[in-house]
Structures are given as C-alpha cells and as structure tokens.
Chains A and B, each alone.
Chain A
Amino acid sequence: MQILLLALRRLAASLPTLLLILVGLFLLLQLAPGDTVDALIAQMGGGDPAMAEQLRTFYGLDAPVVVQLGRYLLRLVTLDLGFSAIYGKPVAEVILERLPVTLLLMVSALSFAFAAGMALGVLAARRVNRWPDTLISTLGLVFYATPSFWFGMMGIVVFAIRLAWLPAGGFEQIGSGNTGLTRVLDIAWHLILPVATLALTYLATYLRIMRASMLEVLTLDFVRTARAKGLGETAVVLRHVLRNALLPGVTLMGLQAGTMLGGSVVVESVFALPGLGRLAYESVVQRDVNTLLGIVFVSALLVIAINFIVDMLYAKLDPRIASGR
C-alpha cells in the first residue's frame, strides 16, 4: 500500500514535467517555418491567400500564440488532441491507429533485450575473465556500437533477400484475410527482424549492467552464508544473487523507455511498419504540428507510465524500499 502511495507521489511529480514539455514544444514549433495550412496548400498544389486565411481561421491559427497555447492545454485536459489537417481526422484517432504496432514492438524488444541481456550477463559473470566472458563482453560492445538501422538493413539482406526466410518489411501479409491464430503467427513472423534490431543496443546495455551488478553482489556476505549452508551454485545464483542483481537493470529499463521510443522511429522506417515512430517522422516532414505534439504527449505519457510500473516492480524485488519509507 505504502509503495503505491510512493509511486503515486512520483506520478504526481511528473505532471509539471509533462506541462513543461508541452509548453516548451508548443513554443518551439511556433518557430517552425510554415504552418499546417502552408503544408496543406502545398499538398493541394497551391491556393490563393484568401483561402489560406480562411483555413487559418478554421484551424484557429490566427489567434495570438498564448491564446493558442491556452486553448491547446485546455483541450488536452479532456484528452482532445486536436485535429490533424493532413490526415483529415482527429489526432487521437490517428495516434490510436498507430499505437498498438509501436507498443507491440517496444514491449517485445524490451522483454527480449532484458531476458537475453540478463541471461548473457549472468553467464559472463559466472565465467568472469575466462573465454565465455570475453566473448560475451566483446559481443556486447559490438552490439552497442552498431547503428540499429544498419543492423536492420543487413538483417534484411541476409534473412529476407539471400535466405528468404523472413519478410523484408510490413506488419502483416496485406490482403491475406488471416484471422485468429494464423494472423498472430503472421504478425510474429513479420516482427522477428524489427524486434531483434530494436533490442540489440539495449541487450548490450543490460548485459553489461547485469554482469557488473552480478559481480558486485557475488562478493557480498549473504552469498557466502548461502554457500556456507550448503546451497548448490545454481540455487545461490538464481535465488539469492539474481534477485539483488536485477535492481540496476530494472532502473535502467525505466530510464531507457524514452530512448527506445526514439529508436523505434528508425526501426519502423527501415521495416515500413505503420507505427507511432513512422508517424512522428511523417508529421515532421509534413509539418503536421498537431499530430507531432500529440505524439510527444503520448510518448511522454508512455515513458511516465513505464516508470510508474518500474517503481512498482522495484518494490516487489526489494521489499526494503516499500517498508523503508
């Protein structure tokens, strides 16, 4: 209960941050050359100034900046993200259409990176400074240094073009009319390469953190006690060391949620996935200010939500945090 209160307090503390982001970004986007109406007219292939004025009045772009900002924030309270002139429908709708793909991609990549990074980190720590450790640590460094989009492209060359095992892009087979389990499997098959691409960098970080914290925890007194009472090495590692060594990794998960969302912009673009990241890229190119602000709002919410979950997880792993307060 106490931990819930603590986490809720942290959640409340993130509200000013969110406000700061929105105001800052709104003002920043005012500096952008051209507005939505300019982009719209360019898309229509030109138009006269009178029509432009009319459109500006229609979208409320003729009001002073402060008034526009006030209006925007007021509407946000009711979760109304405004109207996207480019897509011709409410921003909330556009984002909701794209959100599941990104969420699926992020959650899969995060779980994969965390699980694999943990396993490799434990393995490396158990064989510290011997060849498995050297191999795993080197691999981690190389993964960390690889540009993710390049890894994705090379994945396409090898697995989609040469071997023809995996699809080169897209979210699912279009027009196949798959339903139920076949559709799930089809999507999973399409997501193997993107998830591996996005997970790579994070896998490397988790691996390094996990290895370091395993080594640290292994030197603590309670580990010696566990060994002294006759526990096998596996039991010591799994039941005593791992649980304590997980904490830094879990912290990192919260910190990296934002980075991962940024990474999915690139990965979604490589694999032509219809997700939030691609939408962000498209709205930058199309100067769709409302959609861009909406995406930033939603991604900030996502990061805050992930940090909330991480807080709860943290207390689950280390009861001292909940009772210490």
Chain B
Amino acid sequence: MLGFLKRYARNPAAVVGLLLVLAVIGMALSAPFVFPRDPLSLAGRPLQWPMDNPRFWLGTDNTGRDIAAQIFHGARVSLLIGLVATVIAIAIGIVIGAISGFYGGWVDDVLMRVTEAFQTLPNFILLLVLVAVFGSDITFVTIAIGIVSWPPSARLTRAEFLTLRNREFVQACRVLGMRDAQIIFREILPNALPPVIVYASVIMAVAILLESALAFLNLSDPNVPSWGNLIGAGRGVLRVQWYVSAIPGVVILLTVLGVSLVGQGLNDALNPRLKGR
C-alpha cells in the first residue's frame, strides 16, 4: 500500500489531478457556508462583469444570479451526478460482465448481444430518449446516465472473468462446494476489480460531460445549479457577455481533467511496468 502511494506521488500529473479533484470536493463541501443563499435566487443587477463588483467576483449571469455561488453549488451537483452514475454503471457492468464471463455459453451470448445493442446505439441519443420518456428530474437524469454508460465496464469485467474462471483457486472453490454466487462475488470479483475501478474514472469523466451536454440542451433539471445549465443560460448573451458561459466551461474542463489524471495515475501506480505508455 505504501509502495503504491509512493509510486502515485512520484507522478506529477497524478498529483495535479488529485489536487484538482480535491479542490472541487472542497468547493462542494464549502458551498453552503461560503454561499449560504440559494444560488438560483436573484443576487444583484444582471450581467455584471467579473471583478466589477467586489460582491460578485465572478460576476452575475443574465438573470442576476451570482456566478460564483452557482459554480460552488454546481460542484456538488456535478460530483454527485458523476459519482452516483458511475456507481450505477459499474454495478450493472459488473453483474452482467461477471455472469456472462463466468457461465459462458448461451447466457454469455444473450448478455453480449444486449451489451452490443447498447453499444451500437449512440449513447447520447439513448440518453435523449430516456430523458424524453422519464422526464428530466435530477434523480432520473443521473440514473439514465448510469444506464447508458455501463457496456464498457461489462466487457472489461467479462474479459477478466474469462481469464480467471479456470484458475486453480476457482477450481478449489468448486471442489469445496461453494455456491456459484459465492465464487463469483467473493472469490473472483475481488481479483477482477482493479482494472474496472480504474476505468471508473473514465465513466465519471464522461458522466459529468454527458450531464453538462444535456443541461446545455435544456433537457436536464432546471431547478438545480448545474454547470451545464449555466453554460446554456449564457448562450443567449454569448455575443458580448461571453464570460457567463466561459467560466463554468473552464470549471468543467478542470474537473474532468482532474478525474482523468487521477484515473491515469492510479493505473500507472497499479501497473508500474506500463508507465510511460
């Protein structure tokens, strides 16, 4: 464990990523204290440029809401959506991948067909359909993002299971008379998990981007202070007050960058031989 931390800390990019992620987490945690007021309420005169008014150091948007407050509260929304959607996607992926890789045969065929169907369908278009059907409440948007993001993790888990299912320790478990569910989740899964966990960072990055794209199209929940909503709101005043859209975009960029760097750092630290590739 210590060696792992050391390897991680020696990678400057991974450390920068960690700092970025910690900064976003810090923003999310401190939001209710730094900006106790509702970030979606009227705060002052609309469209004040950043630094013009010391009260609004990131300015106000076209409906007079404080941009800095929306950024801080938006961090909570983005992190929450990213985390929950990733957990959903990984959970579905692990179950489907594990069953499919462990049993093989027709079960594998059927499950892989379903996975393929999800992969053939452009995931953003599927997301649009899901939101159209079930509405754009924030809970459902999060679930929908999880639902469209699971196929890669299923394939990854399946590949791991295929290489593990005939190892001696699994055969030993069978001889001991363990039930399939026990073998799958207690014995094989822990060994198959590391690459899937690393891949989770990719899913989380994509989940944050998907939500922001949805919000930009006005199809996400308008009642939460999400970064994508702010970019969408700034679209109307893009010509002159471009900062309304620019600021949240930079924040999304830095967050996604941080998450990807952490994922890459984890990967390098777990597979030291592959570093530099």
Residues in chain B near residue A128, CB distance under 8 A = 276
Interface residues in B92-141 (C-beta closer than 8 Å to A):
113-114, 116-117, 119-125, 127-135
Most interface-central of A24, A153, A285 (chain B CB within 10 A): A153
With A154-B246, A266-B213 already in contact, the answer to whether A304 and B260 are too (CB < 8 A) is: no
Q: Give 1 or 0 for each of A13-35: 1 = CB within 8 Å of chain B CB.
A: 01011101100110011011100
Q: Please, how many angstroms separate the alpha-carbon atoms of A287 and B129 in the complex?
A: 10
Are A150 and B120 interface neighbours, CB within 8 A? no
Interface residues in A296-314 (C-beta closer than 8 Å to B):
296, 299-300, 303-304
Residues in chain A near residue B256, CB distance under 8 A = 144-147
A201 CB, min distance to chain B CBs, angstroms: 9
Residues in chain A near residue B124, CB distance under 8 A = 259, 261-263, 265-266
Residues in chain B near residue A42, CB distance under 8 A = none
Are A142 and B131 interface neighbours, CB within 8 A? no
Most interface-central of B129, B131, B212, B246 (chain A CB within 10 A): B129
Interface size on B, residues (CB 8 A): 46
- Asked if B178 lies at the interface with its beta carbon under 8 angstroms from chain A, I say no
- Asked if A280 lies at the interface with its beta carbon under 8 angstroms from chain B, I say yes
B237 CB, min distance to chain A CBs, angstroms: 11
Q: Please, how many angstroms separate the alpha-carbon atoms of A305 and B231 in the complex?
A: 35
Residues in chain A near residue B213, CB distance under 8 A = 147-149, 266
- Asked if A295 lies at the interface with its beta carbon under 8 angstroms from chain B, I say yes
Are B125 and A265 interface neighbours, CB within 8 A? yes
- Asked if A85 lies at the interface with its beta carbon under 8 angstroms from chain B, I say no
A160 CB, min distance to chain B CBs, angstroms: 9
**Which single residue of chain B is at the shortest CB-CB distance from A284?**
B132
**Which single residue of chain A is at the shortest CB-CB distance from B152?**
A255
Residues in chain A near residue B216, CB distance under 8 A = 147, 149-150, 266
**Which single residue of chain A is at the shortest CB-CB distance from B256?**
A145
Are A300 and B121 interface neighbours, CB within 8 A? yes
With A16-B113, A145-B253 already in contact, the answer to whether A32 and B133 are too (CB < 8 A) is: yes
- Asked if A244 lies at the interface with its beta carbon under 8 angstroms from chain B, I say no
Residues in chain A near residue B7, CB distance under 8 A = none
Contact of A292 among B129, B217, B245, B276 (CB under 8 A): B129
With A145-B256, A156-B238, A266-B213 already in contact, the answer to whether A259 and B123 are too (CB < 8 A) is: yes
With A261-B122, A296-B125, A299-B122 already in contact, the answer to whether A20 and B113 are too (CB < 8 A) is: yes
With A149-B213, A150-B231, A153-B231 already in contact, the answer to whether A304 and B120 are too (CB < 8 A) is: yes
Residues in chain B near residue A144, CB distance under 8 A = 256, 260
**Which single residue of chain A is at the shortest CB-CB distance from B112?**
A17
B125 CB, min distance to chain A CBs, angstroms: 5
Are A258 and B123 interface neighbours, CB within 8 A? yes
A270 CB, min distance to chain B CBs, angstroms: 8
Contact of A157 among B123, B134, B238, B257 (CB under 8 A): B238
Residues in chain A near residue B134, CB distance under 8 A = 31
- Asked if B154 lies at the interface with its beta carbon under 8 angstroms from chain A, I say no
Interface residues in B225-277 (C-beta closer than 8 Å to A):
228, 231, 235, 238-239, 242, 245-246, 249, 252-257, 260-261, 276-277
Interface size on A, residues (CB 8 A): 54
**Which single residue of chain A is at the shortest CB-CB distance from B264?**
A141
Residues in chain A near residue B246, CB distance under 8 A = 154, 157
Are B133 and A303 interface neighbours, CB within 8 A? no
B49 CB, min distance to chain A CBs, angstroms: 15
Interface residues in A139-192 (C-beta closer than 8 Å to B):
141-142, 144-150, 153-154, 156-157, 161
Are B128 and A280 interface neighbours, CB within 8 A? yes
Q: Give 1 or 0 for each of A216-260: 1 = CB within 8 Å of chain B CB.
A: 100000000000000000000000000000000000000100111
- Asked if A129 lies at the interface with its beta carbon under 8 angstroms from chain B, I say yes
- Asked if A112 lies at the interface with its beta carbon under 8 angstroms from chain B, I say no
Residues in chain B near residue A72, CB distance under 8 A = none
Are A258 and B120 interface neighbours, CB within 8 A? yes
Contact of A287 among B125, B132, B245, B257 (CB under 8 A): B132
Contact of A269 among B114, B217, B257 (CB under 8 A): B217
Binding site for A on B (CB under 8 A): 113-114, 116-117, 119-125, 127-135, 205, 209, 212-213, 216-217, 219, 228, 231, 235, 238-239, 242, 245-246, 249, 252-257, 260-261, 276-277
Closest 5 CB pairs of A and B: A262-B124, A150-B249, A262-B122, A145-B256, A145-B257
**What are some 13 contacts across the A-B interface (CB < 8 A)?**
A31-B134, A147-B256, A150-B245, A153-B231, A153-B249, A154-B246, A161-B238, A258-B123, A261-B125, A262-B124, A266-B124, A296-B121, A303-B120
